[in-house]
Amino acid sequence: METVTLTIKNQPDLFLEADTITPDAFAGKKIEEIADLHVYVGREQHRLGDFFEISGKAGATPEETKIVVNGDLSRVKYIGMKMTAGEVVVNGNADMYVGAWMQGGKITVNGDVDAFAGTGMKGGELIIKGNAGNYLGAAYRGDWRGMQAGTITVTGNAGSDIGTFMNGGEIVIGGDVDVHVATHAEGGRIIIKGNAKSRLGGQMVEGEIYVLGSIDLMMPGFAYREDVDVDVDGIKGRFALYEGDLGERHRKRKGQTIYAKLYQRIEA
């Protein structure tokens, strides 16, 4: 695998839209060609090279291309958007839409990301070592096809609205989450190692939520069923199982109604 290193040298005075920072856009290109890729500040078009020092070498294909982005990227949007393969490492905080609509490959952010990371994700791996903003792994507005597959791992906390319209894949949050988790979800799994506030599983059809810490307020549509032993993805212990959303439609399998499941840890 070849590596291209970008180091931000000029901060945009508004925000930089850099959806070209992907292995797909870099693969097979010379450094000069990569520097010529388009980025935008408002309605102005610029070169990637106007904002970044670029060094190293791109692979022939996205699979063989790794991108390392250094510096304060908290005003840079769309890093890794729609990428299909290869690797992106962000050493710093990044703005919105990291890994949005990504289909494959791996993104590691050694810092925080703002909202809409992993929007409409179809595959691949998104690792955030800091905190994530709102709408992590959620669907784009209006789309009933949210996260389909892949994994998102956040070491710190996440904001509100994670996993909206989730259909598959997994989101693991190391810390706490804000309100509204897995709204309208029809599949997938969300693991919250810290505490949750309220509105977990609202309008949820299918899928699983695990909460290891506290929940401020349970949805009225989630009913306690029983205590169960859980051993999933390294999460072990005794959990209280709730099913819901009782107000929502659910399909039946062999005469049994299939509900979404919410597990809250009682003891490790």
- Tell whether residue 266 is a contact of another protein (CB under 8 A): no
What DSSP element (H or E) covers 41? strand 38-41
Q: How big is the site for another protein, counted in residues (CB under 8 A)?
A: 43
DSSP 208-254: EEEESS-EEE--TT-EEEEEEEEEETTEEEEEEEEEE-TTS---EET
Beta bridge partners, 200, equal 181
- Tell whether residue 52 is a contact of another protein (CB under 8 A): no
Identify residue 91 by its one-letter amino acid code.
N
Residue 67 and residue 89 in contact, taking contact as beta carbons nearer than 8 Å: yes
Query: How many whole angstroms separate alpha carbon 156 and alpha carbon 194?
Result: 9
Q: Which of 8, 12, 34, 32 is nearest to 23 (CA)?
A: 34
Binding mask 89-118 for another protein (x = CB under 8 A): -------x------------------xx--
**Cβ of residue 62: shortest distance to another protein, in angstroms?**
18
Of residues 58 and 164, the one with the C-beta less far from another protein: 164
**Cβ of residue 66: shortest distance to another protein, in angstroms?**
26
Q: What is the largest CA-CA distance in the chain?
A: 63
Binding mask 189-218 for another protein (x = CB under 8 A): ---------xx--xx-------------x-
Q: Which of 89, 149, 223, 240 binds another protein (CB under 8 A)?
A: 223
Q: Which of 110, 123, 127, 140 binds another protein (CB under 8 A)?
A: 140
Judged by the rule CB under 8 A, the positions of this chain that interact with another protein are 13-15, 17, 40-44, 96, 115-116, 133-135, 140-144, 159-161, 165, 178-180, 183-184, 198-199, 202-203, 217, 219-221, 223, 245-249
